[in-house]
Amino acid sequence: MSDQNQNSSEIHGVVGYYSDVDGIMNASRKIRDAGYKKWDAYTPFPVHGIDEAMGTKPTILPWIVLGMGLTGLCVGLGLQWFTNAYDYKFLISGKPTWSLPANIPVTFEVIILFSAYTAFFGMLALNKLPHLSNPLHKLERFKRVTDDKFAICVESKDPNFDLARVSKLLGVGSEHVETCPIDTTKAALPIWFHGVAAILTCASFIPLALAFKGRFATSEKPQYHVWPDMDFQRKRKTQTAWEGFPDGRAMRLPVAGTVATGELRDDFELYHGVAQGTAVPASVRYDAALFGSAAGADRPEWLAGFPAAVVVDEPFLERGRARYGIYCAVCHGNQGNGVGAVALRAENLDAAKWGWVPPKALHSDNAKAYSNGELFHIASNGISTMAGYSAQVPAKDRWAIVAYIRAIQATQALDPSAAPQDVEFQPVPTIDSVRVSDSGADGE
C-alpha cells in the first residue's frame, strides 16, 4: 500500500486490484452494500452480472434512441414531402409527387441513420467521453486493466470516503491496493497538437464560407471551365454558320436531284389529301383561304373519300381508334368531345389568357363539314394552337385517324330515343359542362 499519510483531499481515490472475475464481483458487492456512490469497477471486458453486483441502474439510452428514431421518421418523410411534393414538383414515371411506396426506402434509411448516430454519440455523451485526462491512467499498474486485471476505484469525492475503511474493504481478496493522486499536470497532449487542431478547425470552415458567399454574390467573370474539352467540342452544331464551307453553313444540303429513301411522296392522295396531279397545298398550319366554306378560288381539290392506298375496313378503324387514343385523346377526349386531360388542365389554368384555343369537339357541325382531305391536312399540319402530327404519325395512320373521326361523328348522330330501354342515356360532357367541376380533372 502506498503512502498512508496522504491527505484525502490530495488523492483522487483508492484503487484495489483483483486477478479474476470472482474477486471483482465480491468486492463490488461489498462496496455497493457499504453504501458508496462515487466508485466504479474497471474491467478489460464487460463482466456478466456486474451491473447487479454494482447496483447500476439501466441506462436511458434506448429511450433516447427511440425518440431520435421517431424524429428520423418525421425528418425522412418531411424532407421528401418538402422537396418533391411541395417545393419542386415534377412528374416522373407517372408516380404521384407524394407517393408513399416510393418514399419508404429513404424514410427507413433516415430512421436508421438518426437512431444509429444517437446510439453511438449518446453512449459517448452519457459516458462523458472523450475524456483524455483521467488520473487513473497515470498509475502504472492500472494499465493492466485493459489487459487481464480488474480494479475498483472509490473516489475521495464520495461523502462516506474514509481512506482506512475503504482500503480495508478493497483489500479483501485483492492482489494490491494503492491510492491514486490527483492529476496535477495541465495538459496530457503536447502544445503543437492544440495548435494544429485549432488551425484545422478554422480551415474546415473555409469551403463552407465560400459556398455561402457564392450563393449570395454575383460575378462578372465568365464561368470557370474545369475540363474545357467538354464545353467546347471540336464539332459544328446543326443550323450554325461555319466558314469552312463555301456557302458558310455548317450543314449540307441533299445532293441535287436526289430523294431520301421513303421521302418520294408522289402519291398526292395519300400524302397530301388532294386529287392526284392537282396543286399541292403548302405544309402550313392553317390558311383560311384553303379551307371550308370561306375558301377562295385556289382552294385545293380536297379528297372527299380515302386514298386508294388505304383500305377502310374494321382493322383499319381499330388502328385509327388506337392511334386516336394515343395522339388525339389527350386533348380531344376519348369521345371526341374536346374534353381531354390537357383541355381540362388548360381550362383549370385559364390558359386562354396565354392565347390557348380549346380543342374542338370533333362531332360538331363545323368539323363534320370538313372533307376528308381537309381533316387529313389538319391532322398533318395543325390548326390554331394544335401542332401538326406528320412527324409522329405515318400518313396511313393519319388516314386511319380520319376514318375514326368519321366513325365518332356517325355514332354521335344517333337518336338517344332509339337506345334500348335498359340503357341509361348519358349525354357526352362538353368542356362547358365540366369546367366548374374540379373532380373531373383526372377524367376520361
Partner 1 sequence: MTTTDPSASFGGKPLKGQDPRVRPALVEGENESFATVTEAVAKVSEVPVPSTNKAWIVGFAISLSLLGMLGLLLVHLITTGVGVWGNNNPVYWGWPIVNFVFWVGIGHAGTLISAVLFLTRQNWRTGVNRAAEAMTIFAVVCAGMFPGVHIGRVWVAYWLFPLPNQMEMWPNFRSPLLWDVFAVSTYASVSLLFWYMGMIPDLATLRDRAVNTPRKIAYGIAALGWSGSSRHWHRYERAYLLLAALATPLVLSVHSVVSFDFAVSQVPGWHTTIFPPYFVAGAIFSGFAMVLTLMVPARQFFGLKHIITMNHIDVMCRILMATGMLVGYAYAIEFFIAWYGGVQYETFAFVNRAFGNYWWAYWIMVSCNVIFPQIFWSKKLRRNLWVVMLVSITTNIGMWFERFVITVTSLSRDFVPSSWGYFSPTWVDMCMFLGSFGLFFTLFLLFLRFLPTVAIAEVKTVMPQAHAHGHDSHGSSDSHAPSGAPIGGGSAAPASKQDA
Partner 2 sequence: MNTSIELPKRDQVIARDLAGPAKAGLVIGVLALAATALFGLGYGDGMRHFGHSMLVALLFFLAITIGALFFTVLHHLTSAGWSVVVRRVAEAITGAFPVLFLVALGVLVIPVIMGSSYIYDWASHDFVYGGGDFPGSELIQAKGGYFGSLFFGARICFYFLVWVGLSRFFAGQSLAQDDDQDPSRTLKMQHRSGVSMVLFALVTTFAAFDMSMSLNAEWFSTMYGVYFFAGCFWSFLATLALATMWLEKRGNLKGVVSIEHYHDIGKLLFAFTFFWSYVSFSQFMLYWYADIPEETHWFHYRMWGEWTNFTLLLAAGHFLIPMLGLMSRHVKRRRGVFAAWCIYCLVFQFIDLYWNVMPEMVNGVGMGDPATTGPAFGMIDITAMVSVAGLFLFGFLNKLNGKPALAIGDPRLPESLAFQNV
Residues lying near partner 2 in the complex (CB under 8 A) = 48, 93-95, 101-102, 104
Which of 6, 37, 44, 195: binder of partner 1 (CB under 8 A)? 44
Residue 47's nearest CA partner among 64, 67, 23 is 23
Strand 386-387 to 11-18 pairing: unpaired
Q: How far is the CB of 318 from partner 1 (least distance, A)?
A: 22
**What does 264 interact with, of partner 1, partner 2, none (CB < 5 to 8 A by kind)?**
none
- Which helix (H) or strand (E) segment holds residue 101: the answer is helix 100-126
Q: How far is the CB of 34 from partner 1 (least distance, A)?
A: 16
**SS3 at position 329:** helix
> Which listed range, 83-91, 282-290, 331-339, 417-425, lies at the site for partner 1 (CB under 8 A)?
83-91
Closer residue to partner 2 in complex, CB, 104/419: 104
Query: x/- string (CB under 8 A) for partner 1, residues 161-190?
Result: ---------------------------xxx
Which of 2, 30, 42, 278: binder of partner 1 (CB under 8 A)? 42
Q: How far is the CB of 111 from partner 2 (least distance, A)?
A: 12
Question: What is the total residue count of the chain?
Answer: 444
Closer residue to partner 2 in complex, CB, 94/130: 94
User: Where does 205-249 show beta strands of DSSP type E?
Assistant: none
**What does 242 interact with, of partner 2, partner 1, none (CB < 5 to 8 A by kind)?**
none
**What does 59 interact with, of partner 2, partner 1, none (CB < 5 to 8 A by kind)?**
partner 1
> Which listed range, 89-97, 357-365, 423-431, 434-442, lies at the site for partner 1 (CB under 8 A)?
89-97
Closer residue to partner 1 in complex, CB, 47/407: 47
Does position 137 interact with partner 1 (CB under 8 A)? The reply is: yes
Does position 79 interact with partner 1 (CB under 8 A)? The reply is: yes
Q: How far is the CB of 147 from partner 1 (least distance, A)?
A: 5
**Cβ proximity of 85 and 98 under 8 Å:** yes
- Measured CA to CA, the distance from residue 260 to residue 376 in angstroms comes to 23
Q: How far is the CB of 175 from partner 1 (least distance, A)?
A: 14
| Whole-number CA gyration radius for the chain | 43
Rounded (10°) CA dihedral 245, 247, 252, 255? -110
- Measured CA to CA, the distance from residue 3 to residue 306 in angstroms comes to 118
Q: How far is CA 373 from CA 249, 272, 326, 380, 400, in A?
A: 37, 8, 22, 10, 12
Closer residue to partner 2 in complex, CB, 52/432: 52
**What does 94 interact with, of partner 1, partner 2, none (CB < 5 to 8 A by kind)?**
partner 2
Closer residue to partner 2 in complex, CB, 326/410: 326
> Which listed range, 5-13, 51-59, 162-170, 306-314, lies at the site for partner 1 (CB under 8 A)?
51-59
Residue 8's nearest CA partner among 140, 158, 135 is 158
Closer residue to partner 1 in complex, CB, 1/124: 124
How many residues sit in the footprint of partner 1 (CB under 8 A)? Answer: 83
- Measured CA to CA, the distance from residue 356 to residue 348 in angstroms comes to 12
**What does 278 interact with, of partner 1, partner 2, none (CB < 5 to 8 A by kind)?**
none
The cell numbers describing 318, all together, are: 381499330
What letter would DSSP give residue 186? S
Closer residue to partner 2 in complex, CB, 55/214: 55
Half-sphere exposure of 59 (CA within 13 A, CB side): 12
Does position 366 interact with partner 1 (CB under 8 A)? The reply is: no
Buried b (16+ CB within 10 A) or exposed e, 301-310: bbbeebbeeb
Residue 76's nearest CA partner among 96, 103, 101 is 103
Which of 27, 31, 145, 170: binder of partner 1 (CB under 8 A)? 145
Considering only residues 147-166, where is the footprint of partner 1 by CB under 8 A?
Answer: 147-148, 151
Angle, CA 131 vertex, CA 179 and CA 189 arms, to 5°? 90
Q: How far is the CB of 444 from partner 2 (least distance, A)?
A: 17
At a CB cut-off of 8 Å and minimum separation 6, what does 135 contact?
12, 180, 181, 182, 183
Query: x/- string (CB under 8 A) for partner 1, residues 52-71?
Result: xxx-x-xx-xxx-xx-----
Residue 29's nearest CA partner among 155, 152, 127 is 152
Closer residue to partner 1 in complex, CB, 49/296: 49
Does position 200 interact with partner 1 (CB under 8 A)? The reply is: no
